[in-house]
Amino acid sequence: MDNESNREKFVRLAEARTQKIIDTIKLLGNCSNRYVYEYTEKDVEKIFSTIEAELKTAKAKFTGGGSKETRFKL
């Protein structure tokens, strides 16, 4: 990978990281089973509003926007 171009590096990393996110979202979906887990609609709203906000932040980085780091907690 010493001769890897910036484009090739971007494609390699972006594909791997995007797939990792997709796989993790699928795992999160497994938590929806109410026979195994207990949660409220407020919990669900907080989870997905936080994910949506982070997606907006990540997208803004590609268009010159800023960002702030936070850790998710219910």
Count of structural domains within the chain: 2
Q: How far is CA 43 from the centre of its chain?
A: 17
Residues 15-65 have pLDDT tens digits of: 999 999 999 999 999 999 999 999 999 999 999 999 999 999 999 999 887
Indicate the residue type of 49.
Answer: S
How far apart are the two ends of the chain, measured CA to CA in Å?
41
Same domain, 20 and 45: no
Range of the structural domain that residue 6 is part of: 1-37
Angle at 62 between CA 56 and CA 68, to 5 degrees: 55
For the entire predicted model, the pTM comes to 0.79
What pLDDT sits at residue 67? 60
Per-residue burial over 36-67, b if 16 or more Cβ lie within 10 Å, else e, is: eeeeeeeeeeeeeeeeeeeeeeeeeeeeeeee
Same domain, 47 and 70: yes
